Amino acid sequence: MSSYSHSQLIRDEAYRLGFDMIGFAKAEFMDTEARRLEDWLNQYYHGEMHYMANHFDKRVDPAKLVPGAKSVISLVHNYYTEKQQEDSEAPKISKYAYGKDYHFIIKDKLKSLLNFIRNEIGAVEGRCFVDSAPVLERDWAKRSGLGWIGKNTMLINPKRGSYFFLAELILDLELEADQPMKDYCGTCTRCIDACPTDAIAPDGYIMDGSKCISYFTIELKDAIPESYKGKFENWMFGCDICQEVCPWNRFSKVHREPAFDPHPDLLTMSKQDWEEITEEVFKVIFQKSAVKRTKYKGLKRNIDFLK
């Protein structure tokens, strides 16, 4: 079979497994991205996320992760939902964390896809990645033609918006590469104008992670600086502001993955319920959720900061 035939075979199976988009790129050293990442780190835009500075060589060279790597497969899994928290005054959670932890759901699908490739094509060396390893996932998705990296630094697709998870397979298998897509942000500055903490550079395309609400509410383990009091617009875990205002998200489609549906109690909790949440309730609602990353203590800190 040709590399084109292999690509089509893998594409069809990815869709069958529930992925919404798939693209292919040649596995090679990421020279431009390496320079940009180095500059970003030198500006300390990663804040206390020290892991971002680790394994630099692996982030920009797929052969360091999979010896003999020839292709990077980028996959997109939609998580958009029209469901909302019922109390408009309740502290808010980013849509990506409504359901079960995406790392586990998507990793299982990736493993199934890798097994399929080995069964149908033969001995292929490869690894699966879901936002938990030194992989520049947005850059690979861009190279794979799945969208462009917008002014809010999110991957944006003109037919699907940006509410999706990214995942990768790095293989030592030659595949037909896709072509990158042009940038369609144009003169729009809605994400820049809407960010309450000025985390996005004035001209866009650079995110100061140390100013992002998601960073403060998820990554930061210390106390949130008092200088940001009143600037979180009621977000207690993550933040969707730059996605909510993005015009391209009018094309977002509701996901088809039951595991990403929220716990029944999550959407009905009132502002008072959240302010009085106990560790027992936290464990029930977020039993298999990405919110567990911040732990009960961290979520309480975030809620108290909003008062």
The upper half-sphere exposure of residue 279, i.e. CA atoms within 13 Å in the direction of its Cβ, equals: 4
Report the C-alpha gap between 68 and 121 in whole angstroms. 17
**Of these residues, 131, 178, 261, 273, which one is catalytic?**
131
Give the contacts of 255 (CB within 8 A, at least 6 positions apart): 77, 78, 79, 80, 81
What would you measure as the largest C-alpha separation in the chain, in angstroms? 62
124 close to 171: Cβ distance less than 8 angstroms: yes
What would the two tokens of residue 248 be? 């391209």
What would the two tokens of residue 107 be? 């990793």
- 3-state class of 251 per DSSP? helix
Q: CA nearest 147: which of 75, 250, 240, 72?
A: 75
Question: Measured in Å, how far apart are the chain's first and last C-alpha atoms?
Answer: 62
Report the C-alpha gap between 305 and 300 in whole angstroms. 8
Catalytic, 261? Answer: no
Report the C-alpha gap between 53 and 44 in whole angstroms. 10
51 exposure class (CB count in 10 Å sphere: 0-12, 13-18, 19+): exposed
Q: Which helix (H) or strand (E) holds 213?
A: helix 213-214
Q: Which residues are catalytic?
A: 131
